[in-house]
A = this chain, B = another copy of it.
Amino acid sequence: MALRLSTLFLRTLREDPVDAEVDSHKLLLRAGYIRRAAPGIYTWLPLGLRVLRKVEAIVREEMDGIGAQEVHFPALLPKEPYEVTNRWLEYGDGIFRLQDRKGADYLLAPTHEEMFTLLVKDLYSSYKDLPLSIYQIQNKYRDEARPRAGLLRGREFIMKDSYSFDIDDAGLDASYMAHRGAYLRIFARLGLEVIPVAATAGAMGGSRSEEFLHPVAIGEDTFVRSAGGYAANVEAVTTVVPDDIDFSNAPAADVRDTPETPTIDTLVAAANSMVPRDGGEWTAADTLKNVVLAIDLPTGVRQVVVIGVPGDRAVDLKRIEANIGAHLGVGGEVGVEAAGEEDLKKHPGLVKGYIGPGLSLDAPVLGSESSTKLPYLVDPRIVSGTSWITGANEAGKHVFGLVAGRDFSWDGTIEAVEVREGDPAPDGSGPLEAARGIEMGHIFALGRKYSEALDLKVLDQNGKLAVVTMGSYGIGVTRAVAALAESNHDDKGLIWPANVAPANVHVVAVGRGTEIFEAAEQLTAELEAAGLEVIYDDRPKVSPGVKFGDAELLGVPTILAVGRGLVDGVVEIKDRATGVAENVPVADAVKYILDKQ
Residue positions of A touching B, CB distance < 8 A: 1, 7-11, 32, 35, 37-38, 41-46, 49, 52, 64, 67, 69-78, 93, 96-98, 100-101, 106, 108, 115, 119, 122-124, 132, 134, 139, 141, 143, 145, 155-156
Contact = CB atoms under 8 A, between A and B. Distances in A.
A44 B71 contact: yes
Given A9-B123, A43-B73, A76-B108, 15 more contacts: A8-B69, A9-B134, A11-B124, A38-B74, A38-B77, A38-B78, A38-B106, A41-B74, A42-B74, A46-B71, A75-B139, A76-B141, A96-B98, A98-B98, A100-B155
Contact of A9 (B1, B71, B77): B71
B1 A76 contact: no
Contacts of A108: 76, 98
26 contacts: A9-B69, A10-B123, A11-B123, A11-B124, A32-B123, A35-B119, A35-B122, A35-B123, A37-B73, A37-B74, A38-B76, A41-B74, A41-B76, A43-B73, A43-B74, A43-B115, A45-B71, A49-B70, A49-B71, A52-B72, A75-B156, A76-B108, A96-B106, A98-B98, A100-B143, A101-B145
Given A11-B123, A74-B38, A122-B35, A69 B46 contact: yes
A74 B156 contact: yes
Contacts of A11: 123-124
A76 B134 CA distance: 26
Contacts of A67: 7
A396 to B, nearest CB: 45
Given A46-B69, A69-B8, A98-B96, A37 B77 contact: yes
B132 A9 contact: yes
Nearest to A45: B71
A76 B123 contact: no
The oligomer's copy count stands at: 2
Nearest to A134: B9
Chain A interface, >50% SS class: mixed
Contacts of A124: 11
B93 A101 contact: yes
Contacts of A141: 76
B101 A37 contact: no
A37 B78 contact: yes
Contact of A43 (B8, B71, B106): B71
Of listed A7, A11, A72, A77, residue having the most chain B CB within 10 A: A72
A28 to B, nearest CB: 14
Contacts of A72: 43-44, 49, 52
A82 B173 CA distance: 50
A9 B120 CA distance: 9
Contacts of A115: 37, 43
Nearest 6 Cβ contacts at the A-B interface: A98-B98, A44-B72, A11-B123, A38-B78, A93-B101, A41-B74
A143 B76 CA distance: 11
A119 B75 contact: no
Nearest to A92: B101
A64 B10 CA distance: 16
Given A9-B123, A78-B37, A123-B9, A64 B156 contact: no
A492 B461 CA distance: 34
Of listed A9, A38, A45, A156, residue having the most chain B CB within 10 A: A9
B97 A98 contact: yes
Nearest to A123: B11
Contacts of A46: 69-71
Nearest to A50: B70
Contacts of A76: 38, 41, 96, 108, 141, 155-156
A72 B477 CA distance: 15
Of listed A11, A38, A97, A139, residue having the most chain B CB within 10 A: A38
A137 to B, nearest CB: 10
A38 B73 CA distance: 11
Contacts of A37: 73-74, 77-78, 115
Nearest to A165: B9
A46 B124 CA distance: 15
A126 to B, nearest CB: 11
A565 to B, nearest CB: 29
A134 B123 CA distance: 40
A375 B520 CA distance: 66
A44 B116 CA distance: 12
Contacts of A96: 76, 98, 100, 106
A272 B124 CA distance: 73
A289 to B, nearest CB: 34
Contacts of A44: 71-73
Contacts of A43: 71-74, 115, 119
Contacts of A119: 35, 43
A77 B36 CA distance: 11
A157 B563 CA distance: 49
Of listed A11, A37, A122, residue having the most chain B CB within 10 A: A37
Nearest to A43: B73
Nearest to A73: B43
A162 to B, nearest CB: 12
Contacts of A77: 37-38, 41
Of listed A35, A97, A115, residue having the most chain B CB within 10 A: A35
Contacts of A143: 100-101
A35 B77 CA distance: 13
A51 to B, nearest CB: 12
